[in-house]
Structure 1
Amino acid sequence: MLFKFMSRGICMNQLRAIDGPWDGDFTCGTVPGVLATVDFGNTTNANIDFYFKQQNKYSNGGPAVCTEYWVTWFTDWWVKKPVQNVPGVIDNIAHMYSLNASFNIYMTHGGTNFDFMNGPDVTTSYDYGAAIAENGDITPMYTAIRSFIQNLTDWENPPLDVPANNP
């Protein structure tokens, strides 16, 4: 789900190559004619500026795109579920929005991987910090993101009412 508006973002059907910008370059290389994008998580706005600057070196004038903005990171089996950093995420989203960047919130909705393909020590739940919990409940992350969107003056389609959580 591309959480940024399509009028300000990129089309979902465009080809793109993704890499992490933290090492200062795209170590996996790029593909001619394919938009280079970046993935990163909750961080400082200065880091976001740096990541998009790195992406810009390889995007041939393309838009700034964070293909996966990680609101938290996965947890190992023996680690407690991470605490949502709602203010930090909203600050990052507001900053990316101010840069006219497109971003995808990962994970927007939690879920379960019922296979063992995710590695030997990583949980099969994708509910770590998701805005909508694995059971469909609305989290504080969701309501904060919704509130941010609701307060944008140029948002053409206001968010719908929030459903009640499961009893």
Structure 2
Amino acid sequence: MFDFILYLHLLAATVWIGGSVFLFALGIFLRDKEAQKKVYFHVGPIYGYVESVWLTILIITGLWMFFHMGLQNVFNGEVKRLAFLLQYKLILVALITIATIVHMYIAFKTNGKERTKLQLLLSRGSSMAIFVLNLMILWFAMQIRTLL
């Protein structure tokens, strides 16, 4: 069972990170603003639903492994580096979840419409946060894996 959960977690991470990197790159490299609007209008909602499912799978499988492996006990133990890495990874996961909720709320509310300056700022800021946090979480995950 553990192998299946780990596989599902890695698959979800691949879809989640790959998708967010792809859309982030689209936002940077697709210079034609009209083409960008059309792409996001059609792809955005599909991506939002699919990525919500994969983020949920990531969180559920991550929590399952955390408790199944007894990692909650590491915070009271001797392994300070593992506790440090887990603590910060969990904080980053909480932050990326919040950034995703903010981004998706604005994206679904304004899909096909003109955004206010605040909506634009929050949308782009949360998108950038998701991109950076993905890379940070991936680094923490690799460090944790080397200790386990």
The structure whose RCO (Cα within 8 Å, separation 6+) is larger is 2
- Same-fold call, TM cutoff 0.5: no
Smaller-chain TM-score bracket = under 0.3
TM-score normalized by structure 1? 0.23
